[in-house]
Amino acid sequence: MAALSFRTRPLGVAAGVLLLHVGAVWALQSGLMGRVVQAVVPVEILSELIEPPKPKPEPPPPPKPVVQAVQRQTAPPPPPMPLAITDPTPAPDAPTGVAAPPVPVPLPPITATVAAVPAPTPAPVSPQIELPSSDADYLHNPSPNYPALSRRMREQGRVVVRVLIGVDGLAQKAEIRQSSGFERLDEAALKTVKNWRYVPGKRAGVVEAMWFSVPINYVLE
């Protein structure tokens, strides 16, 4: 029995293979294979759809704004104004003829009135005054007397005598204008001035009486 089963097994395998081929041919003819393909294809598509989604790439950072310098546009210069050009050719419709020069109209004479300007009044001129004098050589006036007591007392100083000189050159009045501080010196100076002779003073060339100051110095040597 064992040998019979060993011999019959290859035959069974061959018969199975043959049956499979026959079934495949029959399936092709009857459209069963197309259904199997149709059933398999959706499974593959489904498997593809079930795959986990891929991570989306991160979007690149936005570009930085570029600041561009704005150039100020200047307005273009205005177009040149058209120039008027004189055309020497006369117009065809221009009247022809000779223009007469205008007749000058005589103007009335212009009379100017000039107001008389009075001449400026000259400023009054003060008359020239010549003061009296006591130092003329021809007068022969003696030197002032120095009192002996004043010399011994060592008295000295300056005396100014105011004297009125008449038209004859003589002293009419005399008075002490500035004292020396010593009565003896003042009296000696007053007596000396009264006895002198003088050149009389003049106003505008005319001799007249005038007051005159005579200084006398008493100084010990």
Q: Which domains does the chain have, with CATH numbers?
A: 8-48 (no CATH), 129-218 (3.30.2420.10)
Task: Indicate the pLDDT class of residue 19, thresholds 50, 70 and 90.
Answer: confident
**CA–CA gap between residue 199 and residue 10 (Å, rounded):** 201
In this prediction, residue 217 carries a pLDDT of 95
127 Cβ partners below 8 Å, 6+ apart? Answer: 203, 204
CA–CA gap between residue 25 and residue 21 (Å, rounded): 6
Q: Residue 73 pairs with which residues in a beta bridge?
A: none
Phi-psi region of 131 (alpha: psi -120 to 50; beta: other; left: phi over 0): beta
Nearest to 148 by CA among 185, 183, 190, 181: 185
Looking at residue 148, what DSSP letter applies? H
pLDDT in tens, 160-174: 999 999 999 999 999
Tens digits of residue pLDDT in 65-81: 555 554 555 666 666 55
Bridge-based pairing of strands 206-208 and 201-203 is antiparallel
d(CA 145, CA 194): 13
pLDDT at 41: 43
Amino acid at 135: D
Of these ranges, 9-18, 89-98, 181-190, the one predicted with the greatest mean pLDDT is: 181-190
Question: Quick check: 122 pLDDT over 80?
Answer: no
Name the amino acid, one letter, at 156: Q
User: If you average pLDDT over residues 114-119, what whole number do you get?
Assistant: 62
- Give dist(CA 14, CA 17) in Å, integer: 5
170 phi/psi in degrees, rounded to 5: -100, 155
CB 212 within 8 A of CB 132: yes
Establish how many alpha carbons lie within 13 A of residue 106's alpha carbon, considering only the half-sphere containing its beta carbon.
2
Indicate the pTM of the whole model. Answer: 0.44
**% of the chain surpassing 70 pLDDT:** 51
Residue 27, Cβ neighbours under 10 Å: how many?
A: 14
